[in-house]
Structures are given as C-alpha cells and as structure tokens.
Structure 1
Amino acid sequence: MDIEDLIEIGTIVGASGLKGELRVNITTDFPERFENPGQRWLTINNNSSPQIVELLRGRKVPGKNIYVVKLENVNDRTQAENLKGATLWVDKSDRPYLEEGEYHVADLIGMEVYNQQNGENIGVVVDVFSAAHEILEVKLHKQPLVETKPPVNLENISRISRRKKVKPKKTKAITVLIPFVAEIVPIVDIDNQKIEINPPTGLLDN
C-alpha cells in the first residue's frame, strides 16, 4: 500500500497503562475510525512504509481530542512507548457516509479557490481545521513582493557563525482563513477541484 492511497487519522502520543494501550491524538472528523475494530495502517516515521495493523478497540478520553486504542500484538507499556510519534492511517476507499454539505478534509486540500464577485482565482486550500466551525486555510496565488538586498559574498566572511547570520531567510507564504460556512463558501465542486467563495468585506485583506 502506498502512502498516497491512505488518509491520516491520528498520531500516537504515548502509552496508556501497562497493557499496551496507546494514546492517539486524532486528526479525523470520524471518531468511529477508532471505535470500530478492523484493519488500519501504521507508519513509524516519515520514511517508513505503511504496515497493516489490527485495531482491537478504542475509547475517547472525555474532554480531550484523544482516543485510547489497543492494537493487536502491542501487549506491554514498552512496546506502546516505542510507537510514540507513529501515525495511523486508513485506506482512502474506506470512507464513512457523508450527509449533504459534508466533505472529506483530504478532498478539500489542494482545491482552487475562486472569488465569485470577480471570478479571480485567489489561491489554493492548504489546510482545514476546526474552531467554532471548520476553517479553510488558503495560500494566496498573489504573494506580496519581498524587498531583496544585494547578494553577499560569503567567501569574504571567515567565521562560520557570521556566515549563518547573513544567509537569506526563507519567507513564509501568506495565507488567509476562510470560515467554511454556506454564506461564505456557497459552492464546493469536488469533480472540478474548485471552490467558490463570496467573501465579506475585509476577509481577503492581509
């Protein structure tokens, strides 16, 4: 199974108890992925290949975005602690039923965003997160110009510490946060990878 065929559902943050249970910080809107037993996938780090694991059971920690889960063949605290930082996944084809107006986060990432008011393609969705409601983080296609300084000849600087100081700094791309509500995001076209927004005054200012 390739990582491109999977959806991330949570990160193991530590052990729970002495019998191999794991604390998982969930990144899915479908908690049943941790409540229903069955096959899941596990990556130990960013470079490891996904491996099949069997989820035996899971329960939510009250008041927290944490589930305590039991995986097959993880039977003591030492084994559980060795999995800290690992990521749990499900097959993309394993999708819960969605009501009208609901979307999978993985489908929204990468969609182009258009302003209905002028037809402009303003940016691309790079993240989705929850607050009082879902929020789209959109990286703008039009990034502000960054004032550049004349290049520095590092060969004329002898001390390594001073070389580090004059190396150019990377600039972070400008993004805007768009409330994912029908009044502002009236159209989500999954087939054409297109979102249309009707932004109120000031929403796109940065």
Structure 2
Amino acid sequence: MTNVPQNEDELLLVGSISAPFGVRGQVKLNTLMTHPEHLSRVRTVYLGEDFKPVRLQRAQMHKHNLVILTLDGIGNRNAAETLRNVEVFIREADAAPLEEGEYFLHDLPGLVVETTAGETLGSVKEVLETGANDVLVVERLEGGQVLVPMIHDVVKELDLSGKRIVVELIPGLLEL
C-alpha cells in the first residue's frame, strides 16, 4: 500500500462520500471529477483530513457524478456509515491527463492577472468555487482585493507556463 504522500499538494480532492450503498460496505462518492470513470484505474485513495491511504478495490459509475466505491477494510454498512461526509483524494499523478486548455484550480494562486490593455491588476490569492462559475480573488498591487469571474467574457487568456491570466475588464468590476 502506498504511504501518505510527503506533500499534501500532490493530492487532488475528487469528491466526498455521501452515504453507504447497500449492506456490504460500499459507499456513494459524489465526485467533482470531469472524468469520474477514470477512478476505475486508481488503486489507492486518501480519506479525510489525515489523508489515510486506503486500497480502492472497485469504482463503479452509478449516475452522473456518482460513483460506488468498494474500499479495503470497509466490509459492512456500519463501517461505511463512519465515512459519511469524508473527503476523498487521489494523487495528482493518478489523475486523468489534462486535455488542452484544462487546468487544476490549485495551479492558479500566484498567477499574475493583467488586463488586455497591459495593466497589472495583481495576483491570484485563491479561487472561489461558487457553483455557477469559479471566481478569482485577486490581491491588488495597490492593496485590497477584486473578484474576477472566470467566464469567457472576462478571462481572455490563461497561460500557466507564463504564470499569467489576461482579463478584459467589464464595466464596474473594479468598483465593487
């Protein structure tokens, strides 16, 4: 079995366990993954805040973004119940390869945010996941923060290798 990774940054949150499934210890995973079917190739998942490594015996697609997991050591419904609301992580190296234009949200903090006019607004402090669209929290050079929605009308270029994001300001964005 793989030990806990040396660096938590190696791990990706893939979802959280919502409930037991059946009486044999299986659990329902509400996944955040774009390609949840990829979990069938993963051998070890990491559970909870302490990132406990557990061998993944089976991952079966159930419904859209709902995967049924069979985990080593979880053999009955009572054991599965103890995992309710526990977050599930995998190693970034075990994740499905990113397609062109895809990125991990944890790669965005620290990127410089510039306008299409060439003005530097600041750098990304964090990314808020709002449900409708993600929002960049940008630390302004002159102090304070601005919230930048990650929508096509605003984000014109995201260059991870160049460590920058180019945005087109919409009226009133900086006044909020």
Q: TM bucket by the smaller chain?
A: 0.7 to 0.9
Closer/same/farther in 2, CA of residues 43 and 95 from structure 1, 3 Å limit: closer
- Is 2:162 aligned against 1:188? no
DSSP 3-state at the match of 2:60: strand
Match of 1:91 in 2: 91
**Which of 50, 60, 63 is residue 61 of structure 1 equivalent to?**
63
Percent identity between the aligned chains?
20
Question: What code does the residue aligned with 2:129 have?
Answer: F
Q: Note the residue ranges of structure 2 that are not aligned, 5 or more in a row.
A: none
Distance 1:25 1:18 in 2: 19
- Residue 162 of structure 1 corresponds to none
Residue 12 of structure 1: SS of its match in structure 2?
A: strand
Specify the SS of the correspondent of 1:18. coil
Q: CA RMSD in A?
A: 2.6
Question: Displacement of 1:197 after TM fit?
Answer: 0.8
Contact 2:59/2:67 (8 A) holds in 1 = no
Aligned ranges 1:8-87 → 2 under 5 Å:
8-34=13-39, 36-44=40-48, 46=49, 48-62=50-64, 65-87=65-87
Please give the alpha-carbon distance, in whole angstroms, between the structure 1 residues aligned to 2:102 and 2:138: 22
Off by >4 Å, runs of 4+ in structure 1: none
Structure 1: unaligned runs, 5 residues or longer: 144-173
Deviations 1:24-65 (A, max 9, x none): 22233232233x243132233x2x244142241222335xx4
Letter paired with 2:105? V
What number of residue pairs does the alignment pair up?
169
Asked if the contact 1:109/1:125 (under 8 Å) is kept, the reply is yes
Normalising by structure 2, we get a TM-score of 0.78
Q: Which has the larger radius of gyration?
A: 1
Q: Scaled by the length of structure 1, what TM-score is found?
A: 0.68
